[in-house]
Amino acid sequence: MVVVSQPVPKCKRSSVLIPVVDLADPTSKTQIVKACEELGFFKVVNHGVRPDLLTKMEEEATKFFALFQSLKDKAGPADPFGYGSKRIGLKGDVGCVEHILLNANNHLSSTKSTAVFRQIPAIFREAVEEYMEEMKGMSSKVLEMVEEALGIEPKEKLSRLVKVKESDSCFRMNYYKEKEETQAKEEIGFGEHTDPQLISVLRSNDTEGLQICLKDGTWVPVPPDHSSFFVFVGDTLQVMTNGRFKSVKHRVLTNIKRSRLSMIYFAGPPLAEKIAPLACLVPKQEDYLYKELTWSQYKSYGYKTKLGDYRLGLFEK
């Protein structure tokens, strides 16, 4: 496959500070709401995830991506689950990235996820299972704090969507390899997009590359922090809050000198769940900016679009 290298769009350096949320402090909920409204993005500290689990995940993922290509290919091609290299999604998008995508609930019901699990050692499998549980816990906790701060009813309206066993969440590990040539240029690792789910929780190693887009279109680099997590608001949460929360556009540029490894948990609702603005937040139906769709309808539409397409249009009235 010929991969045409795409021009790297300019990033205006901006002095925006990424909001930092202490997850162990219940009063952080107002800060979470503010961050979700203004940026659709924040950093989480005091999260309670064991550092040795993070180290194990990083070591094992590094070993996997260092395997011979023919071995990694046994866990692919991504359909979208499984191992993939360069291709992003099913519509011809490419980036300088290798990845593994797993179905986070019932992952063994997908053949490709099973193929990945067959390719990796038991110690990695167990770490992945434990990590996904931790991420489910962290996403529900963030959503619970949002529920409390906004007075969302009925109880657990949002957090339940990611807690139930039917929730359609997935887990992705991305590996952006450093360049061997000394003359190498920065390239697009993962092109700009928003995440379709409710929220996504990212952890990366100490290599920069992630950028988020502000409401005025300015791109801002996010300084890496391997001991913290980063939370993104996704399209579904934007719809449910009737646009009060912003699903944040983001992208990753490759770092020429150092490889980057990131892990993202996409907390999604069950397939049959009807997604629409929440009545408790928007009393009058005529104020709804979005119509109702099931998560499954939105997701299948997403598979037919390119990475950078504006998908929320499908929800707009």
Ligand X SMILES: *[C@@H]1O[C@H](CO)[C@@H](O)[C@H](O)[C@H]1NC(C)=O
Please count the residues of this chain forming the interface with ligand X, following the rule CB under 6 A.
8
260 is catalytic: yes
Cα 84 from Cα 90, distance rounded (Å) = 11
Contact positions with ligand X (CB under 6 A) in 59-78? 62
Query: Could you tell me if 251 and 200 are in contact, meaning their C-beta atoms sit under 8 angstroms apart?
Result: no
Least separation in angstroms between residue 174's CB and ligand X is: 10
Q: Between residues 41 and 64, which has the closer beta carbon with respect to ligand X?
A: 64
Determine the straight-line distance between the first and last CA of the chain, rounded to whole angstroms. 40
The catalytic residue among 87, 160, 260, 311 is: 260
- Pick the closer one to ligand X by CB: 146 or 210: 210
Q: Residues 206-245 vs ligand X: string with x where CB under 6 A?
A: xx--------------------------------------
The CA distance from 60 to 62, in Å, is 5
**Residue showing the smallest CB distance to ligand X in the complex:** 62
Q: Specify the pairing of strand 20-22 against strand 41-45.
A: parallel
What are the backbone angles phi and psi of residue 303, rounded to the nearest 5°? Answer: -65, -20
Binding to ligand X (CB under 6 A) within 258-297 occurs at: 258-261
Cβ neighbour number for residue 226 with a 10 Å cutoff? 14
Check binding of 179 to ligand X (CB under 6 A). no
- Kindly indicate which of the ranges 18-26, 79-87, 204-212, 277-285 contains the residues binding ligand X, using the contact rule CB under 6 A: 204-212
3-state class percentages of the chain: helix first, strand second, coil last, to nearest 5: 30, 25, 45
Q: Which residues bind ligand X (CB under 6 A)?
A: 62, 205-207, 258-261
Catalytically annotated residues: 260
